[in-house]
Amino acid sequence: MFEGQPRGLWALALANTGERFGYYTMLAVFVLFLGENFGFSNQVASPIYSCFLGFVYFLPLVGGMAADRWGYSRMVVIGMFVMLVGYLLLSVPLGGGMAGIVAMAAALAFVCLGTGLFKGNLQVMIGDLYHDPKYADKRDAGFSLFYMLINVGALFAPTAAILMMDWAQSIGFSKADSYHFAFAVACFSVVASIAIYYGGMATFRHVTVAKKAEKPAAGEKIETAAADETDTKERIVCLCLVYAVVLFFWMAFHQNGLTLTWFASEYTYRLSRGWEAMMFDVTNLVAVIFVVFALFSLFNGKTVKARTISGALIAASLAFLWYKYDPEALVRVDAPIFQHFNPCFVVMLTPVSIAFFGWLASKGKEPKAPVKIGLGMLVAAGAYLLMMVSSIGLPLPNHPFHVADVTPNLLVSTYFILTIAELLLSPIGISFVTKVSPDKYKGMMMGGWFVATALGNMLVGIPGLMWGVELTYVWGTLMGICLLAALFIFSIIRKLNKVS
């Protein structure tokens, strides 16, 4: 699974891992911070959250256009330093008055701009690694590995946020001020990203500058220009059609920080015990991840030594889980902790996904990227079907007889299904963009992917504004949107497959 990939993949992916760790540490508690620190209602916090997400993913278009002109590496580096300024501002406890609001607004602006310069351009650089013919057939697997590694950062983020907040409160800070300590984690993670980027630059130096397309010979100019223009337009149209679909996926997926977090806070039972409780300790999840990876190594190992090490790692991980098991211990279930399940499942399922599609490829049956994207939308619809059916009979939010007694397993199962959808859509979609984008517009077209994400994030607030009506309507709306998007992409699948 890890063999045969370009060396630069690991340095670039790990640089993104540090940045994502900080971002998701901040995001895990951000909507709760708005209520605790400023007293904002859900109706006020919802548009702030969705607009922030929108700009985080809209500005890569600007960053990509800048990189097409001035260079990808330069924009990536500037972006990391701009993000650092934003997280530093968020780390300062200035209270819930006007000074705190102004500082928060400025911090969010810096984070959005820095992410816009960093995120898409780093992924363009990864795509450029696969222009080498010896790596061309490993592009989808490479982006899946990249996606897995950046989710390692997101995996530990909710736990880091909660631990930092608990520590701050233990030394005398108020609950509202403790959020700033969680935000400070992001500062250190961005510094780590900067160090990793510069430390690993030797492995990807050949893709650190934008390359101009070679000019055709004089006699070929007219014919080549016409053919290039037609091909470029077709590729751009196909990419825009994909963008139109994926924006609805992100609208549904990023409910993890809004309506699904509110569901965790208001409807989900806050205590757990036994095997179920072990899911809420990130060290146990890491042990399960070790088991999954070691199993793959055990069956695919080429030497007795490799298989022996894998077997020992499996035994050690299972022993650790047995040691941690306490059937009588009650574990507190905090709403933000549910957000560590998605990155955990990304890391856990990525080798399964790569192995499955590798097996299909060996039989000549691997579906092309657009088909995988359509399947991802269908799976996402299934996640909200589960939420809709499970919410039948639940009271309205703020109902006087409301009791938070829904099993945590419902949200865990929902995140598991959404993760399968994400793995079918996000890393494959990014790989598709880097493959199909015309060379002279590759930064801008990668930015277009994030603009679609931004538009989806801006729509995240719509289900949030619906919070207060029957929950089946909220989840049913999201399910219907995913189904319609899937039907659309399958209706144009031949056109998309032609360019992929």
Label residue 212 by pLDDT band (50, 70, 90). Answer: very low
Residue 462: its pLDDT value, please? 87
Instruction: Calculate the alpha carbon distances from 257 to 27, 150, 411 in Å.
Output: 7, 18, 13
Take residue 371 and report the two structure tokens written for it. 């088909």
Beta bridge partners of 272: 331
Residue 225: its pLDDT value, please? 55
Least confident of 54-63, 83-92, 222-231: 222-231
Cβ 240 vs Cβ 448: under 8 Å: yes
Cβ 438 vs Cβ 235: under 8 Å: yes
Label residue 417 by pLDDT band (50, 70, 90). Answer: very high
Three-class SS of residue 121?
helix
Place of tokens 């200035």: 94
Q: How far apart (Å, rounded) are the C-alpha atoms in residues 374 and 489? A: 6
Residue 169: its pLDDT value, please? 92
Least confident of 115-129, 142-156, 198-212: 198-212
How many CA atoms within 13 Å lie on the side-chain side of 188? 9
Place of tokens 């530093």: 88
Question: What percent of the chain stands above pLDDT 90?
Answer: 36
pLDDT above 90 for 220: no
Label residue 382 by pLDDT band (50, 70, 90). Answer: very high
pLDDT above 60 for 221: no
Residue 301: its pLDDT value, please? 72
- CATH topology (fold) of 8-210+228-270+333-499: Growth Hormone; Chain: A; (1.20.1250)
Residue of higher predicted confidence among 485 and 343: 485
- Can you give 260-281 as a three-state secondary structure string? HHHHHHHCECCEEEHHHHHCCC
Place of tokens 């650092």: 84
Label residue 200 by pLDDT band (50, 70, 90). Answer: very high
Q: Where are the alpha helices (DSSP H) in 39-95?
A: 42-58, 60-70, 72-90
Residue 311: its pLDDT value, please? 92
Three-class SS of residue 176?
helix
Q: What is 184-234 written as a DSSP string?
A: HHHHHHHHHHHHHHHHTGGGTGGGSS--PPPPPPGGGHHHHHHHHHHHHHH
pLDDT digits (tens, 9 = 90+) for 424-466: 998 999 888 988 888 778 888 888 888 888 888 778 888 988 8
Residue 320: its pLDDT value, please? 94
Check residue 271 and report its DSSP letter.
E
Mean pLDDT for 161-175 is 89
Mean pLDDT for 380-394 is 94
Q: How far apart (Å, rounded) are the C-alpha atoms in residues 188 and 360? A: 42
Q: What angle do CA 317, 321, 323 make, to 5 degrees?
A: 115
pLDDT above 60 for 213: no
Residue 80: its pLDDT value, please? 95
Label residue 76 by pLDDT band (50, 70, 90). Answer: very high
208: amino acid identity, one letter: T
Three-class SS of residue 3?
coil
Label residue 101 by pLDDT band (50, 70, 90). Answer: very high
Q: How far apart (Å, rounded) are the C-alpha atoms in residues 65 and 86? A: 22
Question: What percent of the chain stands above pLDDT 70?
Answer: 94
Check residue 402 and report its DSSP letter.
-
Mean pLDDT for 339-356 is 88
Beta bridge partners of 469: 467
Q: How far apart (Å, rounded) are the C-alpha atoms in residues 10 and 406? A: 41
Residue 155: its pLDDT value, please? 77
Beta bridge partners of 330: 273
Average pLDDT, the chain: 87
Q: How far apart (Å, rounded) are the C-alpha atoms in residues 32 and 46? A: 11
Three-class SS of residue 130?
coil
